[in-house]
Amino acid sequence: MKYIYRLWAVTINNKYGQGIKGDIFYILSPPAIIYAIAILPSFIILLREGLYTHLGLLS
């Protein structure tokens, strides 16, 4: 959720610009890339476990 909040809040700061263009500039910035890489394993684990549970593959 924090990453989504950062994407929402980036448009408030004029450093990256306004609208979708500002979001894209932020997403491609080095701090945002590092943060995304850091949280990506958590999302993968949650997605995998949720999918397995939904399909009944985990007991």
| DSSP string for 12-33 | TSTTS-SHHHHHHHHHTSHHHH
Read off the pLDDT band of 58 (50, 70, 90).
Answer: low
Q: Please state, in angstroms and rounded to a whole number, the distance separating the CA atoms of residues 39 and 4.
A: 12
pLDDT in tens, 20-50: 787 888 888 898 899 889 988 888 887 777 7
Domain ranges of the chain: 2-55
Whether the per-residue pLDDT at 59 is higher than 60: the answer is no
Place of tokens 């997605």: 47
- The confidence score (pLDDT) of residue 55 equals 65
- The confidence score (pLDDT) of residue 10 equals 74
| Residue 4 tokens, joined | 């989504």
